[in-house]
A and B are shown apart, each in its own frame.
Chain A
Amino acid sequence: MIQKRFHFFGTSHTAGGGFEFHVNPKIKKCYGNLGIPNNEHSFSYPGFLERMLDSDYEVFNHAKCGYGNELMYRKVFEVIENPNFDVDVDVLFLEFSDVGRKEFWDNDLQDFVILNYSFEDNQHFGLANKYWYDSKETQLLLNDKKDFYKKYMKNCLEVNTQFELVQRNCVMLVNFLQNNNINFYITNDFPFLKSPKEKFTKIKNHLIEYEFPNSKGKKEKSYNFVSLTEPHYHISEETGNFYQDWHQGYFVNKNVAKIIYNRLIDDGYLIKLKEKLDYNEWYDVKKKIKDGLTLL
């Protein structure tokens, strides 16, 4: 009998971004022999958590590279409105993104596409259905649409209004979950917690606090594991710059999973002994990767 279903939502940081084994053989050379299935989910923190749990706990990773909050709002409602949804069984884990991601339905593809953009950097502009998985045909189709979306962005997306929109939608989603007694955690901070406007959100109980040593070895705490661990625990660093990628690597994702696991024990979702956090594993992982590369 299923005791709990854990649903993870978010961006590439939750989806296992950086571990696209099928894209670049360098990833396989670095991580292919660590005894873990060679795919994004298995190397994501939900994937690590899944392997720590008994079979009566299920993990669903709804996160998607490049996508942001709009995917999360949509998927959260899909989960919540499922006839089998049960507030005593289902637990949600939300990784909020910032501005710079806008989702559209695409009538040609009959699926959603994501527009990635930056208000500061005009060069940063992407449009994809599934980053790393889009076929050549899909890429060509979307390339033809890029100029249109650039025009749309230039004419209709403004930094302050987009910021307000993201803020409002985040607060409203969280309040919706709170008001309906839906169990949830916020896995990577609330983007606007420092705002004085947080007065109504009362979200601290839902945040997860992480601890990692900084680049000088001193332990630091934060609700935001992404900013806490960058850039010194990126895949680039973990692989000794053999493979360049700015996502968190094996070490971070494994320890994020352990921290979430321990939190679930604290909150009574699991009756287990807590996992010990071993920060020296960073050096072990780096060595394993380096040794593996040397043997090639």
Chain B
Amino acid sequence: MSKIKNIYSFGTSFSNAGGFEFDRKPHMVDFYKPLGIELDKTKVQYLYLLSKLLDNKMKCINFAKDGFGNERVYRKIYDITMGNGFKPEENLFIIEFSDLGRKEFFVNKDNRYGIINYNVKGERDVEFRGSSYNYTKEIYSQNLYEVENLFKLLFRKTFDFNEEVDKVHSSIYKTISYLELLKVPYILLEAPSHLYDRNQITVLINEIYKKRLLTIKGDKIFKYLGGNGYTIKHETNGLVDDLHFGYHANVIFSKMVYNKMIELKLILGTPYPLDDILSNSYI
């Protein structure tokens, strides 16, 4: 019998069924209704699908948030593990680490965290894409707007691609080591591309994290699914112009996590064959 009682997921919109905002995109309802699936974003998330594969025997809590990234992941992981009565062996963390392009900040006047999303344009140049407290429940805040403008200036003064990459990779190494030391079971849904083998220490850490990382045919799962037509856009034959992962990709995530749980001896069961997982005949 599995010791795992709680499964937590952390990450970005990709772990949060981003793109499946049926309430804002009625045309998606027409496309997905024939599949007989529950037309609710929270019911498309891979964590929800995983909970069904596990017969709802484990409590599944999703901390992923659209637009947000690693800084929220570190914060939430620490908060949970430092909570009273936290028993590492009873918890599974499924983590989607993000790449650059996301900066979390705190707005004193509103007393809450927000996120800025940007594209890297050069070594010291970024292009802003937006900021929000919650992209799925947009609430206008003058304070947020002011802080966004402050950050636009801050980035101009302080952004350096290489420094940001160094911060991301050292933070990820620290987070992985933290979970290893605490003996918290974890699975990596995605890791950024900046984790190089630099010396004996990094080789060792990279070996550790690779054992926890989901891959398909040698590729990281995001790369594989993104490159092989598993996005909403592909799934809807271009009807919905959204490059978030489609429903089938979320099913694949849930089954790949399920298989990884078996491999890590967190549950007993029979793994789903990869060919069956990738087959999208029912879509």
Contacts of B178 in A (CB 8 A): 171-172, 175-176, 179
Q: Does A136 contact B (CB under 8 A)?
A: no
**A182 CA / B202 CA spacing, docked (Å):** 12
- Cα–Cα distance between A173 and B166 once the two chains are bound (Å): 15
> Do residues A82 and B199 form an inter-chain contact, with CB atoms below 8 A?
yes
**Can you list 7 A-B contacts with CB-CB less than 8 angstroms, sorted by A residue number?**
A81-B199, A85-B200, A87-B200, A87-B201, A106-B158, A107-B124, A173-B174
Residues of A within 8 A of B111 (CB): 158
CA distance A108 to B156 in the complex (A): 10
Q: Could you tell me the distance between the alpha carbons of A148 and B151 in the complex, rounded to whole angstroms?
A: 11
Surface stretch bound by B, among A72-80, A92-100, A259-267: A72-80
Contact of A158 among B78, B108, B160, B198 (CB under 8 A): B108
Category for how many chain A residues contact B: 35 or more
Question: Chain B contacts of A171 at CB under 8 A?
Answer: 78, 178
CA distance A168 to B76 in the complex (A): 11
Asked if B175 is at the interface of the complex by the 8 Å CB criterion, the answer is yes
A residues near B (Cβ < 8 Å) are 73-74, 77, 80-87, 104-108, 145, 148, 151-152, 154-158, 161, 164, 168-169, 171-173, 175-176, 178-180, 182, 197, 200
Q: A105-B160, A155-B108, A171-B78 are in contact. Are A85 and B201 (CB under 8 A)?
A: yes
Q: Is the CB of B156 within 8 A of A156?
A: no
Residues of B within 8 A of A145 (CB): 157
Question: Given the complex of chains A and B, what is the CA–CA distance between A179 and B146 in angstroms?
Answer: 41
* C-alpha gap A61/B83 in the complex (Å): 37
Number of A-B contacts (CB under 8 A): 104
Complex CA–CA separation, A243 to B124 (angstroms): 44
- The secondary-structure label for the interface of chain B is helix
Instruction: Assess whether A178 is in contact with B181, with CB atoms less than 8 Å apart.
Output: yes
Asked if residues B159 and A156 are in contact (CB atoms below 8 Å), the reply is: no
Which residues does chain A contribute within 8 Å of B39, judged by CB atoms? none
A169 closest partner in B (C-beta): B174
Contact indicator A172/B205 (Cβ below 8 Å): no
Of chain B, the residue at the smallest CB distance from A153 is B108
Decide: B108 and A77 in contact? CB cutoff 8 A.
no
Interface residue range, chain B: 35 or more
Besides A155-B146, A156-B107, A172-B178, 14 more A-B contacts (Cβ < 8 Å) are A81-B201, A85-B200, A87-B200, A87-B201, A105-B159, A107-B124, A148-B153, A148-B154, A151-B150, A161-B106, A175-B177, A176-B173, A180-B205, A200-B82
Any A CB within 8 A of the CB of B236: no
Write the B37-61 contact mask toward A (1 if CB under 8 angstroms, else 0).
Answer: 0000000000000000000000000
User: Cβ of B150 and Cβ of A152 under 8 Å apart?
Assistant: yes
C-alpha spacing A73/B168, complex, angstroms: 12
Interface members, chain B 70-108 (any A CB < 8 Å) = 74-75, 78, 81-82, 105-108
Report the Cα distance A107→B180, complex, angstroms. Answer: 36
Chain A residues with Cβ below 8 Å from B277 are none
Partner of A148, one of B157, B198, B200: B157
Taking the nearest CB of chain B, how far is it from the CB of A84, in angstroms? 8
A172 touches B175 (CB 8 A): yes
Residue of A nearest to B143 (CB): A155
Contacting residues, chain B, for A158 (C-beta < 8 A): 106, 108, 111
When C-beta atoms are compared, the residue in chain A nearest to B75 turns out to be: A168
- A77 x B170 contact (CB < 8 A): yes
B199 and A168 within 8 A (CB): no
CB within 8 Å of A: which of B96-129?
105-109, 111, 124
Residues of A with C-beta under 8 A to B276: none
Q: 8 Å CB contacts to A: which residues of B120-176?
A: 124, 143, 146-147, 150, 153-154, 156-160, 163, 166, 170-171, 173-175
* A74 engages B166 (CB within 8 Å): yes
Measured between beta carbons, the chain B residues less than 8 angstroms from A168 are 74-75, 78
Chain B residues with CB under 8 Å of A77's CB are: 166, 170
User: B157 touching A176 by the CB < 8 A rule?
Assistant: no
